[in-house]
Amino acid sequence: MLTGRRYLLALTPAHTLQQTLRDLERACATHGTFKVRWRSRRTGPPSFRFPDPRQITVERVGRRWGRVRLPKLGWVRFRWTRPLGGVLRNATVRQDGGRWFVSFCVDDGRREADPNGKPPVGVDRGVTVAVATSGGWLRDRQVATPGERARGKRLQQQLARQQKGSARRAATRAKLTRLNARIRDRRTDFAAWTADRLTRAHGLVVVEDLKIGAMTASAKGTLTDPGKKVRQKAGLNRAILAKGWGGLLTTLEHKARYNGSRIVRVPPAYTSQTCAACGHRAPDNRESQAVFRCCACGHRDNADVNAAKNILAAGLAVTGRGDLAAGRSAKRQPPEDEAA
């Protein structure tokens, strides 16, 4: 008779355990053995993958519902959102916000689209406006309502007062998790909608190569060397993370493969201080968060749109040199008389 851990291992599908070991081996080979960290059970949502398509059967049972048969789980009903559209390769089950999801990886036979030949665009990611393009298109979305922010703060305070391991603390965590999941879904939807529009309408999308992890690091410092304006920096960090800069870039790179577009990253230095009309660079050019006025030529524009124009110019210069690193290549485009 099996007991304890051996009993739990017997209940677990063998292929999911093997897939976990493959993922661990790939992570160690990519990042190094001593840099790989296990995902926390408390902070990371549980997920597992069924890699063998021969053991997976998917059926549609209605207009909105389908079911999938998984090894040792049997038939599982799920909400049918769209057709599979290809040959099934694997299935992943994960929990997010108290809800369980199943996602299918399929081979749809599609390849990367050919260049669409449409005009380029520069994209500036900001805090006040999430996305501003060099053409003057501004796009933003409020992912959390004032009521949801107030409720989230109240739940955080309630969680801090409750005893760890208690049932009431677990219930409060579940409420907070569901609230954050709704906010995260809106942010994901915004990134997908925006990325699809940009890559469909433009053949080249230039963005800043921002180090978001370093930008959102805490400023509290240490006991011997405490930081300055810690609360202000924490507020800025929350505002940056709320806009989902990293998720937008990832979605742009994914959508570009299917829409015939190309994503280019450029260094972000001085794009918000440089005049897109005359090239004058000065910190005083930025009058406010929203207004840019050049001290040399008097050019006036939306600050984010002006930065997007500078980003586009840097991206066109980079692609003209033939590589993606400023200062690395000595190649230049030939003059017009030589090219003729």
**DSSP secondary structure of 245-299:** HHHHHHHHHHHHHHHT-EEEEE--TTTTTB-TTT--B-GGGB-SSSEEE-TTT--
- The pLDDT, as a whole number, for residue 2 is 53
Question: What pLDDT score does 324 carry?
Answer: 44
- Chain centroid to Cα 29, Å, comes to 24
Q: How far apart are CA 182 and CA 189, in angstroms?
A: 11
Q: What pLDDT, on a 0 to 100 scale, did the predictor assign at position 36? A: 85
List C-alpha distances in Å: 289 to 20, 140, 248, 302.
47, 15, 22, 9
Q: Which residues pair with 59 in a beta bridge?
A: 67
pLDDT in single tens digits along all 340 residues of the chain = 555 666 667 778 888 888 989 988 999 999 888 888 877 776 677 888 999 999 999 999 999 999 999 998 899 999 998 888 889 999 999 988 788 999 999 998 888 889 999 999 999 999 989 999 999 999 999 999 999 999 999 999 999 999 999 999 999 999 999 999 999 999 999 999 999 999 999 999 999 999 998 888 888 877 777 888 888 888 888 888 999 999 999 999 999 999 999 999 999 999 999 999 999 999 888 888 789 999 989 899 999 999 999 999 999 988 765 554 444 444 445 555 544 4
| HSE, side-chain direction, 13 A CA sphere, residue 271 | 28
Structure tokens at 141: 């979305």
Cβ-in-10-Å burial (0-12, 13-18, 19+) of 34 comes to exposed
Cα 250 from Cα 257, distance rounded (Å): 12
Which residues are known to be catalytic?
Answer: 124, 208, 304
Kindly list the domain boundaries of the chain, sorted by start residue.
11-107, 120-141+190-339
The reply to whether the predicted model has a pTM over 0.75 is yes
